[in-house]
Structures are given as C-alpha cells and as structure tokens.
Amino acid sequence: MKLSDYEKAMLDGAHGPAKQKAMDLLVRYGNALGAERLVETRNVAGTIGATTPFMRKFADEKGGLDAVFSEFNLDSAEVVPIPPVEVYSSHLQQGIDPEHAAQQGVGEEVVRIFRKGDAYSAGLGVQLLNTCTPYQVGNLPARGEHCAWMESSAVIYINAVLGARSNAEGRESTGAAMLTGRIPYWGYHIESERRGTHLVELDMPIESMSDWGMLGYYVGDAVQDKVPVITGTGLAPSTLKLKHFGAAAASSGGVEMYHIPGFTPEAPTLEAAFGGNRPREVFRFGPKERQSVYENLNATARDPEVDFVMLGCPHYSIEQIWEVCRLLQGKRVHENTQLWIFTPRATKQIADQNGYTKIITDAGGYLMSDTCSALGRVIPKGTKVAAVDSAKQVHYLPAIMGIQAWFGSTADCIEAALTGRWKGGLR
C-alpha cells in the first residue's frame, strides 16, 4: 500500500506507540481489502470503552480502559497509552441508559463502569452523542466527505441521503481512524463503486413510515450488499422515511448505498444513478411483495397480549417523539404493558424542555437514550411479546431475546401500549 511521508512516520512510531499500532492495523486491514492507499478522514463515528460484560472484566484484569482500547480498537495485545483523538469523533450507541438503569435491570456497578467509560471517551475528545443516528444530533457530514463510521443504519444514511462517503467500518478501524485521521480508500470511498447495480421499480405508492420500512426490508433481501436504484416512489420521501428505509435495507441485506433518482444527491436522473451501466437485475415491488414482507416481519408473533412496546429504532427524532405524544397525551399505558422509547441523548434534552418526556412518563412510559433493546439486550423482565414499529428492530429483537414481536405502524404500537393487545394489520 502506498503511504504518504506522514503515514510512514506514524507507522515507524515517530508519533508515539498508539499511532504506530493504529497505522499497523490500518495497513494490515487495507492490504487485506486490496486498497492501494489510505484516505484522509476528519469524521469518525465509532465505539470505545468497556461496552460489554467481557470488556468490563478485561478492563479490570488488565488495568483500565487504555488496555481495552489497545486490544479491541487497535488489535494490540501490548497495552499502549492512548492519546487524545486526532480528528472529530463521535461515540455511537452503548449498552445501557444510565438514567434508566433500574428499569433496564442494570446494577449500580455497571452504571459506574459506564460513567467511567463516558469520562474516558470525553477525556480523549470523543463527542458523547451516544446514538446510532449521529446525523440527527449535529454530526452531519457534507457531500463527498470521507468518513469512517460504524453502525449500518447510519452508514447507509450518510452515503445515500447526504452523499458523504463511508464503508460500514468496525470498532477496530474506527478506533485506528480516530487516532490517525486515516481509513483505507476502497469501496464506497471510490466514485465508481457508488453507482447503481440493481433496479427496483415500484408498482404501488409508498407513503407511510411502515411502508418505507417494508420496502427497505424487501430491497435489502433482494439485492443483498449491492447498490439498488428505486424508481416510482412518488412524493419526495422525508428524511425520517429514508432513515427507516435504510435501516431496514441494511438489516435484511447489507446495503450501504442506494439511489432514488430525483431525490438522493448523487442521482439527479436514472441514468446518473447507474453511471451509464445497465442494471444487472430488475425487481418489482407491489401489493403482493408488501404482503409477503409484512408476513415475514410478523413471523414470530402469535399471542395478541403485548407486554412490551419498543419505539425508536433507529433512535427517534424530536418530530417522532412529538407525534407519539399526540397519540399518548392524557392516556395511560395498560397495566400489563411497558412502553420504552429510545432517542439520542441530545434529543431527550429537547423532549424534556418541550414537555414531551413528561407526557410520556405521565402516561406510564419511559423516554430512554444511549442504547436500544436489541443492541443493549434490555427489555422489561418477563417480556414474552413485544410490538415495534421498526423493520430493523423486529429483524433482530425476537432472535436476540427469544421473544415474539409484532411489527406495525407507530399508531398500532401506541394502541397496543394503551390496550395491552395487538390489533394492528396491513392497511
């Protein structure tokens, strides 16, 4: 791999042992990918600190969080002192919400370690956005900006909706990028790799949020890790709908980039979306496909009694919280059901100030941050049947937690929270 003088100096250890380990990792990783060089990045979103029970034990035994960073972010068995990050870096979602530890069944010791991890990250200069949607709370890369982001739903969003450039990176490569401002130049950093490969034509209007989630789930399953181009969507989709669409497509397949000609920034026309190439395959999405996706997403659900409603995958925006509050205001969550809504930390502050947190808690629900049920494996004790409004969450939650889960609209989910029963359906 070709390296600049500065990169060579980092690799030779001239800028300290941590950067030497980081460069060593990036070179090994880049070589394995066949990357010819590294690219400069000034925007990293990743994970550091002891986020799992195994890492907490590791930190205790090896003497702290530098050991965790060395081993799990730099792939180095030798513990090296970790300096402040070189470039703007945001922390992604974590394993718990320290403000709702009791509800999530998390002990004081874990909260203490969590807070230590937060302080460690802040000390390195990592911004504690603690969300899977950094783009909703201030980390909004520009078109063409080379980024190193983890979290599949965020990567597909910044690639397709913003026109920024990132592959779905891992904990190791983002850790190394934080310290060096470099990431291998391959995949979606390269213009020609971003062109469409498969065409998806719509035979029906796609309007609601759950329709966009189901369409995303269909598209991911159909094209796997390729670049779909979707036509026939009608009205301009909102950013919230694209957030749901992308999260679903990245779950059922491994989609990291897509185009909607006329709407997404790198596809002013269908021709531009494909960059002059012909689609390798054409798919059609209509009522039959929609029905089949709906049945697939509800495959684990049998019992109508719902004991847990989980909203906020990807983390809810303030607009979505506001909409939930309009459905919830003045009502009470059913005594046998729990309602948990997840949002970025920063959005929760706005919700507090706008009175939305109070509306939710007065109704008997909780507005949580920093984590989610599938990622943190946090659900109310004894949950057997959940209801969610996210195709991504219903893809993961039943398998991870061994429960049933219904998928439907946000209104279906709120109704289930208020009545304790699932009455949703495909409308």
Tell me which residue of 74, 76, 112 sits closest to 96, measured CA to CA.
112
Dihedral, 305, 307, 338, 210 alpha carbons, nearest 10: -70
Sole binder of ligand F3S in the list 315, 334, 345, 348 (CB under 6 A): 315
Q: What x-and-dash track marks residues 93-112 binding ligand F3S by CB under 6 A? A: x-------------------
Span near ligand F3S by CB under 6 A; candidates 276-284, 287-295, 352-360, 371-379: 371-379
**Residue with smaller CB distance to ligand F3S, 39 or 360:** 360
Q: Which of residues 136-195 bind ligand F3S (CB under 6 A)?
A: 153
In the complex, the smallest distance separating the C-beta of residue 352 from ligand F3S, rounded to whole angstroms, is 20
In the complex, the smallest distance separating the C-beta of residue 218 from ligand F3S, rounded to whole angstroms, is 18
**Residue with smaller CB distance to ligand F3S, 55 or 341:** 341
Residue owning tokens 């394993």: 95
Span near ligand F3S by CB under 6 A; candidates 201-209, 283-291, 311-319, 404-412: 311-319
Contact 138, 346 (CB under 8 A): yes
Identify the sign of the CA torsion 168, 173, 175, 176.
negative
Tell me which residue of 281, 242, 102 sits closest to 158, measured CA to CA.
242
**Residue with smaller CB distance to ligand F3S, 247 or 325:** 247
In the complex, the smallest distance separating the C-beta of residue 11 from ligand F3S, rounded to whole angstroms, is 34
Residue 372, interface with ligand F3S (CB under 6 A)?
A: yes
Rounded CA separation 242/96 (Å): 26
User: Phi and psi dihedrals of 194, rounded to 5?
Assistant: -95, -5
User: Phi and psi dihedrals of 68, rounded to 5?
Assistant: -65, -45
In the complex, the smallest distance separating the C-beta of residue 323 from ligand F3S, rounded to whole angstroms, is 17
* 3-state SS, residue 40: strand
Tell me which residue of 353, 172, 164 sits closest to 265, measured CA to CA.
164
Sole binder of ligand F3S in the list 129, 132, 297, 351 (CB under 6 A): 132
Residue 216, interface with ligand F3S (CB under 6 A)?
A: no
Six token digits for residue 202: 């719509």
Q: Which of residues 39-78 bind ligand F3S (CB under 6 A)?
A: none
Tell me which residue of 275, 126, 262, 116 sits closest to 191, measured CA to CA.
275
At position 280, the amino acid (one-letter code) is R
**Residue with smaller CB distance to ligand F3S, 253 or 314:** 314
Number of residues in contact with ligand F3S under rule CB under 6 A: 14
Six token digits for residue 68: 């965790």
Q: Which of residues 234-273 bind ligand F3S (CB under 6 A)?
A: 247
- In whole angstroms, how far apart are CA 292 and each of 73, 253, 287, 386? 41, 16, 9, 21
**Residue with smaller CB distance to ligand F3S, 30 or 314:** 314
Q: What x-and-dash track marks residues 391-410 binding ligand F3S by CB under 6 A? A: -xx--x--------------
Span near ligand F3S by CB under 6 A; candidates 82-90, 228-236, 312-320, 330-338: 312-320
Q: Considering only the C-alpha atoms of the chain, give the largest distance between any 2 of them, rounded to a whole number of Å.
A: 65
Give me the helices (H) in 144-269, please: 152-160, 171-180, 209-223, 239-252
Residue 320, interface with ligand F3S (CB under 6 A)?
A: no
Sole binder of ligand F3S in the list 25, 68, 248, 375 (CB under 6 A): 375
Which residues of this chain interact with ligand F3S, rule CB under 6 A? 93, 132, 153, 247, 313-315, 342, 372, 374-375, 392-393, 396
